[in-house]
Amino acid sequence: MNLCYPANVREYGRGTVGLFFPDVPEAATAGKTLAEAIDRAPDALVVALSAYVGEGRAIPSPSRAKRGHPVVCLPPLAALKLAIHDAMKQQRITQAQMADRLGVDGRQVRRILDLDHESKFSQIEAAFASLGLRVSVRVEKSVPFVPA
């Protein structure tokens, strides 16, 4: 599951730069510079996508980035939690059913799905395993954004 979203850049007067995400219209951020806006963007995505989880909505797939547009990736733990949420939706598994599968209290499932909670990786792995899935990690070189 790729959770790196392309952003549209908008420059305002007085040196403010805004970032908007076509795939997640609820997410937007701004900064005094493009670099500052990009630095703040993962938090904006996490806040917006947390609402998707809270409302039981599917997580939107990122579209293909246009040349010269920045791409913002979610923090890895948040991306894993969103992948669990999506898998639960696809398999029509409720939080109560997930708690039964994991042998835990329902509050622990809510924490696993809470993007702001620092869940243990073992809990994340167990949640995926209960859904018949496994986690695979890919590390790649970070390429700094250079506007076109």
Domain 4-73: give its CATH code.
Answer: 3.30.160.250
Q: What is the pLDDT of residue 146?
A: 62
Kindly indicate the confidence band of residue 144, based on its pLDDT and cuts at 50, 70 and 90. low
Q: What is the pLDDT of the chain when averaged over all its residues?
A: 91
Tell me the pairing of strands 71-73 and 4-6.
antiparallel
Closest CA to 123 of 72, 90, 80: 80
Q: What is the pLDDT of residue 2?
A: 80
Residue 114 CB coordination number (10 Å): 15
Residue 145 amino acid letter: F
What's the pTM? 0.87
- Using only C-alpha atoms, the chain has a radius of gyration, in whole angstroms, of 17
Q: Is the pLDDT of residue 128 over 70?
A: yes
**Domain spans of the chain, in order of start:** 4-73, 76-130
Q: What is the pLDDT of residue 67?
A: 87
Contact 135, 92 (CB under 8 A): no
What percentage of the chain exceeds 90 in pLDDT?
Answer: 79
Q: Is the pLDDT of residue 1 over 80?
A: no
